[in-house]
A = this chain, B = another copy of it.
Amino acid sequence: MTTPPPDPLARDAGIRAFVHLPAAAAAAPAAAAAPAAAGEAGLTAGIKDVIETADMPTALGSEHYRGRGTGRDAAVVAMLRAAGIRIVGKTTTAEFAYRDAPATINPLDPGRTPGGSSSGSAAAVAAGLVDCALGTQTGGSIIRPAAYCGVVGFKPTFGLVPTSGVMQLAPSFDTVGVLAKNVPLVARLAEIIAGLPALTVPEGPPRVGVLPEHELTRCEPEMVGALSRANELISAAGGEFIALELPVGLDRLRELHALINAYEGARSLAAEVAHCRAQTAGLIERGLRLEPADYAAAVAELEQLRPLFDDALRAVDVVLSPASLGLPPLGLTHTGGSDFCQPWSAARVPAVTIPLRPAREGLPLGMQFTAPRWQDASLLGWAAWLEQVFAGA
């Protein structure tokens, strides 16, 4: 990691990670390397533009709300400020935290998407414009862009971090989380917004659960290779791999997620029908066609399944799954698939993605680790252990 250059405002012009970045931010650049050790007072943060800030506009990724002020800090923003973290600006988001992408580029490869919907949060951290950023995830909106941009992303257990003052998309899944360069800094942020204890890195090695083979058929070749490389590295460090038995296949979680996401999203965005972009409009249209009884049945089925997934995950220390299908798509119109994020969002379990750099040249890929609900502290401890193993490769 290199020390950021002195003018984030100028650097951001090429990346477009920020939708609002006051000139004052340029006068006091982000802290240099090893931010976790620098203490909160030295840390800078970007805030995804669906999270309210009393002193900056909150436009929800929508032209319709450009410059909109709400005069109130979201709870998580108040928590960061109380801890002495400096909010430098608002990061770009896909429209209404769904799929219509902003113009943000991927700092690792300008021809590729940074992913979404927390596009700017991931890009700003990857480019060193800030030490950390807040994001939100309903399907894969933290894990996917973090993975595409080669940074660490953390989606906590649903309900652990307050969503007060945060735009709603699908309240059954909406979760605020953190993106940063490394796990210790993510863990420090999680102490502040989730009330977790200080990071404790276990001695290891972990028991790592892996998905049934047939669950991985949709992965692209690069991801298959990366998972295999992660397996080798963890095994070489003494880790044990255990085949996971799931209560139902991930496809069932994807179906339930899609139904509930569309039903709730269409209703949460009732005020946006007249002025939204194509992906949002499609979501609303799909959601309004759904029957309340089918929605209620899906909610009930997920309520039954969640404790069963907790039990399945409790058989190991962490579960390894892909953070994405493969490399970030080329171009800036498609923010990529979230096939391996939606199931964990539906299960409401905590998830963290750690970048695994390829043996030779090329882009990193995200290795996603999950654990039962409320085991966030343990998950981050193991993530720090795994990050060290990956870094030594």
Check if A164 sits within 8 Å of B267, measured CB to CB. yes
> Which residues from B are CB-within-8-Å of A195?
292
Complex Cα spacing A172 to B160, Å: 11
> Which residues from B are CB-within-8-Å of A270?
75-76, 78-79, 82, 162, 164
Complex Cα spacing A162 to B78, Å: 25
From B74, B267, B293, give the contact of A162 (CB < 8 A): B267
Mask: chain A, 143-161; 1 = CB below 8 Å from B; 0 = not: 0000000000000010110
> Which residues from B are CB-within-8-Å of A165?
168, 271
Interface size class of chain A, counting residues whose CB lies under 8 Å from the partner chain: 35 or more
Given contacts A70-B70, A159-B299, A373-B296, contact A75 B268 (CB under 8 A): yes
Q: Is A307 an interface residue (CB 8 A)?
A: yes
The residue in chain B whose Cβ has the minimal distance to the Cβ of A59 is B71
Check if A65 sits within 8 Å of B71, measured CB to CB. yes
The residue in chain B whose Cβ has the minimal distance to the Cβ of A169 is B164
Complex Cα spacing A268 to B74, Å: 8
Least distance between A17 CB and chain B CB atoms (Å): 24
Q: Is A163 an interface residue (CB 8 A)?
A: yes
Given contacts A163-B171, A172-B159, A303-B307, contact A271 B374 (CB under 8 A): no
Mask: chain A, 268-297; 1 = CB below 8 Å from B; 0 = not: 111101000000000000000000110010
15 A-B interface contacts by CB (under 8 A): A65-B72, A70-B71, A78-B273, A79-B270, A159-B171, A159-B172, A159-B264, A162-B171, A162-B270, A163-B168, A164-B167, A164-B267, A164-B270, A164-B271, A296-B374
Q: Which 10 pairs from chain A and chain B are nearest by CB?
A: A78-B271, A164-B268, A75-B270, A164-B168, A162-B267, A296-B374, A73-B271, A78-B270, A68-B71, A70-B70
